[in-house]
Chain A
Amino acid sequence: MCGICGTYRINGAPAERKTIEAMSATLKHRGPDERGLHLEGPVGLGHARLSVLDLKTGAQPISNEDKRLWITFNGEVFNYIELRNVLKQRGHRFRTESDTEVIVHGYEEFGTDFFAMLNGQWAAAIWDERRQELLLCRDRVGVCPLYYAYDGTKVVFASEVRALWCEPSVPRELDLRGLAETLTFWTTVAPQTMYKGVCELPPGHWICFGPTTVTEGTYWRLCFPPNDYDDAGTADEYAAELREILLEATRLRFTRSDVPVAAYLSGGIDSSVTAALIQNFTNSELKTFSLRFGDEEFDEGGFQEQMVRRLGTDHTSITVNHRDIAEAFPLVVRHAEKPLLRTAAAPMFLLSKLVQDSGFKVVVTGEGSDEMLGGYDIFREAVVRAFIARHPHSGRRKEIIQSLYPWLQRNPTAAPAFARRFFSQALDGKDLALSHRPRWQSAVAISRMLNEDVRHEIEKYDVAEEFLDRMPSDARSWHPLSRAQWIEAGTLLSGYLLSSQGDRMLMAHGVEGRFPFLDPQLIDKAAMLPPRYKVMGLDEKFLLKHAFKDLLPPEILRRPKQPYRAPDAASFFSSPVDWVDDITSEEALKSSGLFNPQAVAHLTAKCRRRKGQGMSNSDNMAVTAVLSTLLLQRHMVEPE
């Protein structure tokens, strides 16, 4: 993947070379191998290249035959060979072997309909000289980032927000609506960002800026069948289909590269399956990487070693301690360009550095499986809450939460708090957000840390209802699990998992992630699966485990899902950290104007007293949110 950027001065003023060069320079971590630039009257396109495909002739920006269309592109099109053959048959002539050139010809041939033909992960800008139009587009689920600022006279776009600020007219100011979304969904949701005047192009969308018009379109969106959809297949039949699709998705992502490809191995089912499938496509020893934690509560090293032994990979791991997370965190926030409610992105940042230091640019990972095939607890909560909602006054039904979370029986202190959260919202089976409301409520509680003015301001936004209004009109006919999947994909998948914890942490060190579970064919097939094959009773990812039971050791197959987490408060308070003390001083908090100094002092004193150990979920999230927001304000918004 790479970094892209550019400007289009709609009033006809010429594009400025120094602006495009400055924008490209801020993206150099995304594309350390080469820089490219195309200036043409009012438009300037920039590119920072991470060379992965067509190393010799794949430089960008690139044009079609008559130089009417120019493109700057970030990402990969995995079916570019097949598409190139189609386009050649229609008379297009290619100068390179790159996937980028396929898009420019494909757009020329099919217009925006072409985007639905792409199997890949991408963000692109296409300049149409004849029409004087600049088109921005982005992949289906938001693997590759794309931001823009439009003020009616010019468009500025880039892979990262920081690059937009090379154009002085783009404001550099926090947007409290973005904070309201973060304190509800744990992330902003495109087009909203944390910055005034800056939009994120939503996944599956394109937007076209012309001399007098702005048009937008959606070429793909996640959809599910109605709950009474008549499914005739058996588990064995669906498993065979899933296996075939995932095998092909993995093949495309492993073999279509001109540089060596490695894999992440977390010790969970998803990355174990993808690493095992890769073995079908190579005779060489597969290089794998994993993350370990000094804090045993979070470490999955035993499962990783088991899978390494089974597959015989050449494995390297990095062990991350509290101190490592605390030291990396300011840089992590700077790259994420968003507040973080968890520290989990920081170890991923350190892992991608290990990959880079080991000489690799591309890794295959297991992200997307939980969202598409029903791996998260929130999906089990969706079916449990629906079960309870059918007879909300039944005490007997409520006992099922002991089976959902057996740890509650061992923790008499946490159990009542969990029950309060779980049942605090009306259990209305028709509620589109039946599963997510308790989570959203828990994040809103962080707003207690804000100063009064800011809190009143963000309370004006009803971001949850506005988000639910965007759901497809037939969503009420979907199964509660499908609705939960839609919400999860629309919020945390694109806004956090693939962004703050994904692209941003990988590309901070020039590493491209590839995600077989986010193959479009797999997503569409998974959406049509009967919900029982995702969450069967209380068993998550039933079909995935059924389909690949021969590839995985029984211990990995049977282990309960362990969400990827990292130590939060313990990382910042187990020993003194200079920047934490500095940024949470009374003077700094007053100067920030965002937080209530007394509330933050109370929270940080509690964290210090306990050295960050044994903190509640809510306190862990609150302290991480406060620190990351303060870092963001200091390093992103305030002039450097």
Chain B
Amino acid sequence: MKKLPKKVVKRRIDEFLAMRRRRDTTSGTVLETALFLEDVFGIELDDTELNVEKLGEGADLTGVVLEKMEGP
């Protein structure tokens, strides 16, 4: 996993969210978000994190990524 500046993380997440708004669908958003975050930032999420609170609409995705990048 490569650490990225916050603005880069935020920009990539904003592009993803903009795409989803254009697609106009909310089904399966949590898993798609998890797939995107793992794929683009190289982080790993466990099953307990695949929920609406953490990855749903309005969640702080940038915070999730930065926290994972910092490590425990």
Which residues of A line the B interface, CB within 8 A? 228, 230, 234-235, 383-384, 386-387, 390-391, 394, 396-397, 399-400, 402-403, 406, 531-532, 536-539, 542, 545-546, 557-558
Which residues from chain A contact B12 at a C-beta distance below 8 Å? 532
Which residues from chain B contact A542 at a C-beta distance below 8 Å? 19
Which residues from chain A contact B23 at a C-beta distance below 8 Å? 539, 558
Q: Are B31 and A400 in contact (CB under 8 A)?
A: yes
* Complex: A383 Cα to B37 Cα, angstroms: 12
Q: Are A537 and B46 in contact (CB under 8 A)?
A: no
Q: Are A537 and B35 in contact (CB under 8 A)?
A: yes
Which residues from chain A contact B2 at a C-beta distance below 8 Å? 228, 230
Q: Are B36 and A400 in contact (CB under 8 A)?
A: no
A396 partner, pick from B11, B32, B50, beta carbons under 8 A: B50
* Complex: A230 Cα to B4 Cα, angstroms: 10
* Complex: A390 Cα to B46 Cα, angstroms: 10
Which residues from chain A contact B38 at a C-beta distance below 8 Å? 387, 390
Knowing A536-B16, A539-B19, say if A383 contacts B35 (CB, 8 Å): yes
Residue of B nearest to A232 (CB): B8
A384 partner, pick from B35, B40, B47, beta carbons under 8 A: B35
Which residues from chain B contact A397 at a C-beta distance below 8 Å? 31, 34, 47, 50
* Complex: A386 Cα to B47 Cα, angstroms: 16
* Complex: A384 Cα to B33 Cα, angstroms: 12
Distance in Å: Cβ of A297 to nearest Cβ of chain B: 23
Q: Are B44 and A390 in contact (CB under 8 A)?
A: yes
Knowing A228-B2, A383-B39, A537-B20, say if A403 contacts B46 (CB, 8 Å): no
Q: Are A387 and B35 in contact (CB under 8 A)?
A: yes
Which residues from chain B contact A531 at a C-beta distance below 8 Å? 39
Per-residue CB contact flags for chain B residues 1-33 toward chain A (1 = under 8 Å, else 0) read 010000000011001100110111001100111
Which residues from chain B contact A536 at a C-beta distance below 8 Å? 15-16, 19, 36
Distance in Å: Cβ of B52 to nearest Cβ of chain A: 13
Lowest 6 CB-CB distances: which A-B pairs, in order?
A403-B28, A400-B31, A387-B35, A537-B36, A537-B32, A396-B47
Which residues from chain A contact B42 at a C-beta distance below 8 Å? 228
Which residues from chain B contact A386 at a C-beta distance below 8 Å? 39
* Complex: A387 Cα to B35 Cα, angstroms: 6
Interface of A: prevailing SS: helix
Interface of B: prevailing SS: helix
* Complex: A546 Cα to B21 Cα, angstroms: 13
Q: Are B47 and A399 in contact (CB under 8 A)?
A: no
Q: Are B22 and A558 in contact (CB under 8 A)?
A: yes
Which residues from chain B contact A545 at a C-beta distance below 8 Å? 22
Of A386, A397, A399, A536, chain B has the most CB atoms within 10 Å of the CB of: A536
Q: A383-B35, A397-B34, A536-B36 are in contact. List 9 more A-B contacts (CB 8 A).
A: A234-B11, A383-B39, A384-B35, A387-B39, A406-B27, A537-B32, A538-B35, A539-B19, A558-B22
Which residues from chain A contact B46 at a C-beta distance below 8 Å? 391
Residue of B nearest to A536 (CB): B19
Distance in Å: Cβ of B61 to nearest Cβ of chain A: 12
* Complex: A2 Cα to B66 Cα, angstroms: 58
Which residues from chain B contact A400 at a C-beta distance below 8 Å? 28, 31-32, 35
B39 partner, pick from A396, A403, A532, beta carbons under 8 A: A532
Knowing A536-B15, A539-B19, say if A394 contacts B35 (CB, 8 Å): no
* Complex: A89 Cα to B46 Cα, angstroms: 64
Q: Are A235 and B15 in contact (CB under 8 A)?
A: yes
* Complex: A545 Cα to B33 Cα, angstroms: 20
* Complex: A234 Cα to B14 Cα, angstroms: 11
**Residue contacts A-B, CB under 8 angstroms, 20 given:** A235-B15, A383-B35, A383-B39, A387-B38, A390-B38, A390-B44, A396-B31, A396-B50, A400-B28, A400-B32, A531-B39, A532-B12, A532-B36, A532-B40, A536-B16, A537-B16, A537-B32, A537-B35, A538-B32, A558-B22
B31 partner, pick from A234, A403, A406, beta carbons under 8 A: A403
Distance in Å: Cβ of A580 to nearest Cβ of chain B: 42
Residue of A nearest to B33 (CB): A537
Distance in Å: Cβ of A286 to nearest Cβ of chain B: 28
Which residues from chain A contact B36 at a C-beta distance below 8 Å? 532, 536-537
Of A383, A537, A542, A557, chain B has the most CB atoms within 10 Å of the CB of: A537
Which residues from chain A contact B32 at a C-beta distance below 8 Å? 400, 403, 537-538
Q: Are A403 and B33 in contact (CB under 8 A)?
A: no
Distance in Å: Cβ of B37 to nearest Cβ of chain A: 10
Q: Are B19 and A537 in contact (CB under 8 A)?
A: yes
Residue of A nearest to B28 (CB): A403
* Complex: A531 Cα to B40 Cα, angstroms: 9
Of B20, B27, B35, chain A has the most CB atoms within 10 Å of the CB of: B35
Distance in Å: Cβ of B50 to nearest Cβ of chain A: 5
* Complex: A546 Cα to B23 Cα, angstroms: 12
Distance in Å: Cβ of A604 to nearest Cβ of chain B: 40
